[in-house]
A and B are shown apart, each in its own frame.
Chain A
């Protein structure tokens, strides 16, 4: 018995020893240290001087407006939420409904983080051998990771509602505790997800586990086996009643933070933090061989997409947007005079890959372009391969989205016209446009918020590609013949497609005109 007591006493002495307690504030101290600030300033420089950053002023202003717009939308949502909730559910307490939604936000936050969050690992490489303590580096890594738009978002979404609704009803103390809880839960998500992503990065089973867990929770909620909204309302209503409960999120946030810190301290080796090189195997797509050289080139593009981060995310975005129709194909739009609303998603779904991937058709291969152009591959053949890739992707999208025909058969002809346009005209125009892009791309960076290789012209093009079909369709639409407009769009696409021989010749010539500019741009990167 005495032994146990002694052990307990020792433990007690150990964790509350003055020196020990002082060390608990280490992370905080380091957080504010000069070194962390220096490292952060390097990061700031590397961001603005990076290749992915929009260089031109016009582009920066445009992006600034875009970000401002997004934040203002969130702010608007935050301020008007109380009003909306009140008018949608007049009989219920808006705060209770609001509390019921919070957990969904955090669930969404988890998924968003899984997609958008990047691990700031490589950036420490040059510092590892300098005279900087590992603790400082780890603190820097943690501090740096906090600068993320997902951590900024809750401020805009939650604060307005807290000000307008919760403070009047529950008082300032409860509101402060509530705000703190939200921020701490954001930290919990942040550091928790960093750990999960890191684990998933090293070991694919974590990824599988994560997806299964998310799907399971979504299914439980969907089939009302477990109500996330009731649970969420219970949690946060309690929080409002008993402000001291803020200690729970504090504990959660501290735990994930310390866990992350521990993991980094123990594994601060680049080879342990970056992906384990699994055995890479050669792949062979024999089914592509029936198309000769064009098939071979498509195989090359498929490998490019599957094996590089940025094209992979571009392609998966195109896949994800195939469900776009679920939002737009609603009975209210399925009347002839609202056809314009249907044409948009149809073009978007069958053409997104062409617009997104095709604009950089050559730039994707910028790092091997010297080799491709000196190899025994006629440029016309190369261009043919690209067009073939575009039409295949568009056709696959068309076939898959044909399922929307079950909603209403009239969706099918609209999608068909959109598909023909993408196949016959959009492909060619996009490739033509691609011969004007002289900026190389770094394939290893992810696609989200990556503006490398993107200029103002890129945005203009994406806009034009969307507007051209409307230029064909709208005259008919306004004269009262929407179906004729749809048919006209399809026919224009088809005719252009039949002239693809001419297009290939034209595009080859265009390519040759700017070949050296493209090559030079790609080499500079």
Chain B
């Protein structure tokens, strides 16, 4: 369980994230929507202790993420290319991440075999460093590396933005399965309202750092969101 208490983060006296209280429970698939600058990515960064909160705390299983490192062992995230190591080949990167979770090369290979369709032949044995891959393929590497860690908390920033349509569908399927079967907490931000309402059980709408809507997804949710984003 992740608990957010009174968290505030400001840049130049403007609150980018300001959330009095929020909770994520196991088995929840949460979608974060909002226009650019709403504070989605900053919230994720706070969650991963990549930026320091001005006020408040985020507890992951009752431990403050800014104090202990325990959360690292069960949390996986991919926000942007900064999460990859650019001068490695995809294989080397997977083995490195695997090693951090005490997985042998054989374990990693076995895991990657399940990603053959997702990778579509353009990642493994491609003869490229990660920095030479296209943005979409880098993203696939990032997602696969996340799942390789068998995380219990998964954070993905705009996972649908750079993927081709088939991969988007596959990802949707994977995420749905994972949250239900493995009792994970999955946090996804997206601008794609269709996908988000399709995948997520719960949707948080952010505006200028605040959560202005916290809704359980129903058949009307898409309509509701579209009305909000109407120009």
A contacts, CB < 8 Å to B:
277-284, 293, 296, 300, 303-304, 307-308, 365, 367-379, 443, 515-516, 519-520, 523
Tell me how many residue pairs across A and B have CB atoms closer than 8 Å: 86
* Known interface pairs A280-B128, A367-B81, A520-B51; 8 further A-B residue pairs with C-beta atoms within 8 A, sorted by A's residue number: A278-B127, A281-B89, A365-B85, A370-B83, A371-B85, A374-B76, A376-B149, A516-B52
Binary A-proximity of B19-63 (CB < 8 A = 1, otherwise 0): 000000000000000000000000000001111100000000000
Does the CB pair A374–B75 fall under 8 Å?
Answer: yes
Does the CB pair B96–A296 fall under 8 Å?
Answer: yes
Could you say which of A307, A371, A372, A520 contacts B129, with CB atoms under 8 Å apart? A307
Binary A-proximity of B120-138 (CB < 8 A = 1, otherwise 0): 0000000111001000000
In the A-B complex, the 3 residue pairs with the smallest Cβ-Cβ separation, listed nearest first, are A371-B83, A279-B127, A516-B52
Sample 28 A-B pairs with CB under 8 A, ordered by A number: A279-B127, A280-B132, A281-B127, A282-B89, A282-B92, A293-B99, A303-B87, A307-B87, A308-B87, A367-B82, A367-B86, A368-B84, A368-B86, A371-B84, A373-B48, A373-B49, A373-B50, A374-B75, A374-B76, A374-B83, A377-B72, A377-B100, A378-B72, A379-B69, A443-B86, A443-B87, A516-B51, A523-B82
Contacts of B69 in A (CB 8 A): 378-379
Does the CB pair B100–A282 fall under 8 Å?
Answer: no
CB of A240 to closest CB in B, whole Å: 53
Complex CA gap A303/B88 in Å reads: 7
B91 located at the interface, meaning its Cβ lies under 8 Å from any Cβ of chain A in the complex:
yes
CB of B32 to closest CB in A, whole Å: 18
CB of A304 to closest CB in B, whole Å: 6
Does the CB pair A280–B82 fall under 8 Å?
Answer: no
Complex CA gap A114/B95 in Å reads: 37
Complex CA gap A278/B127 in Å reads: 8
Does the CB pair A374–B77 fall under 8 Å?
Answer: yes
B contact patch SS: loop
Contacts of A284 in B (CB 8 A): 92, 95
Contacts of A304 in B (CB 8 A): 87
Interface residues on B, range: 35 or more
B73 located at the interface, meaning its Cβ lies under 8 Å from any Cβ of chain A in the complex:
yes
Does the CB pair A369–B101 fall under 8 Å?
Answer: no
Complex CA gap A280/B96 in Å reads: 17
CB of B156 to closest CB in A, whole Å: 13
Could you say which of B48, B73, B76, B85 contacts A300, with CB atoms under 8 Å apart? B85
Complex CA gap A370/B95 in Å reads: 18
CB closest chain-A residue, reference B94 = A282
Complex CA gap A25/B74 in Å reads: 69
Could you say which of A283, A365, A371, A374 contacts B92, with CB atoms under 8 Å apart? A283
CB of B149 to closest CB in A, whole Å: 7
B222 located at the interface, meaning its Cβ lies under 8 Å from any Cβ of chain A in the complex:
no
Does the CB pair B82–A277 fall under 8 Å?
Answer: no
Contacts of A303 in B (CB 8 A): 87-88, 92
Complex CA gap A377/B102 in Å reads: 11
Complex CA gap A369/B132 in Å reads: 19
Could you say which of B82, B89, B91, B127 contacts A368, with CB atoms under 8 Å apart? B82
Does the CB pair A300–B72 fall under 8 Å?
Answer: no
Contacts of B83 in A (CB 8 A): 368, 370-371, 374
Complex CA gap A282/B95 in Å reads: 10
Does the CB pair A296–B85 fall under 8 Å?
Answer: no
Does the CB pair A370–B89 fall under 8 Å?
Answer: no
Could you say which of B72, B82, B128, B129 contacts A375, with CB atoms under 8 Å apart? B72
Complex CA gap A367/B129 in Å reads: 14
Does the CB pair B84–A374 fall under 8 Å?
Answer: no
CB of A220 to closest CB in B, whole Å: 40
CB of A308 to closest CB in B, whole Å: 6
Does the CB pair A370–B72 fall under 8 Å?
Answer: no
Residue from B83, B87, B88, B149 with most neighbouring chain A CB atoms (10 Å): B87
B97 located at the interface, meaning its Cβ lies under 8 Å from any Cβ of chain A in the complex:
yes
Does the CB pair A519–B50 fall under 8 Å?
Answer: yes
Contacts of B73 in A (CB 8 A): 376
Contacts of B77 in A (CB 8 A): 374
CB of A302 to closest CB in B, whole Å: 11
B79 located at the interface, meaning its Cβ lies under 8 Å from any Cβ of chain A in the complex:
yes
Given A296-B99, A300-B96, A368-B84: A374 and B50 interface contact (C-beta under 8 Å):
yes
Does the CB pair A370–B52 fall under 8 Å?
Answer: no
Complex CA gap A502/B130 in Å reads: 37
Contacts of A308 in B (CB 8 A): 87
Does the CB pair A277–B50 fall under 8 Å?
Answer: no
Complex CA gap A280/B87 in Å reads: 10
CB closest chain-A residue, reference B151 = A376
Complex CA gap A156/B85 in Å reads: 45
Does the CB pair B127–A280 fall under 8 Å?
Answer: yes
Complex CA gap A367/B131 in Å reads: 11
Binary A-proximity of B170-207 (CB < 8 A = 1, otherwise 0): 00000000000000000000000000000000000000
CB closest chain-B residue, reference A517 = B52
Does the CB pair B85–A368 fall under 8 Å?
Answer: yes
Contacts of B95 in A (CB 8 A): 284
Does the CB pair A519–B51 fall under 8 Å?
Answer: yes
CB closest chain-A residue, reference B53 = A516
CB closest chain-A residue, reference B91 = A282
CB closest chain-B residue, reference A371 = B83
Contacts of B129 in A (CB 8 A): 280, 307
Does the CB pair A370–B82 fall under 8 Å?
Answer: yes
Does the CB pair A280–B89 fall under 8 Å?
Answer: yes
Complex CA gap A293/B99 in Å reads: 8
CB of A364 to closest CB in B, whole Å: 10
Contacts of A371 in B (CB 8 A): 82-85
Complex CA gap A516/B48 in Å reads: 11
Contacts of A280 in B (CB 8 A): 89, 127-129, 132
CB closest chain-B residue, reference A525 = B82
CB closest chain-B residue, reference A522 = B82
Complex CA gap A283/B88 in Å reads: 9
Complex CA gap A515/B73 in Å reads: 19
Contacts of A296 in B (CB 8 A): 96, 99
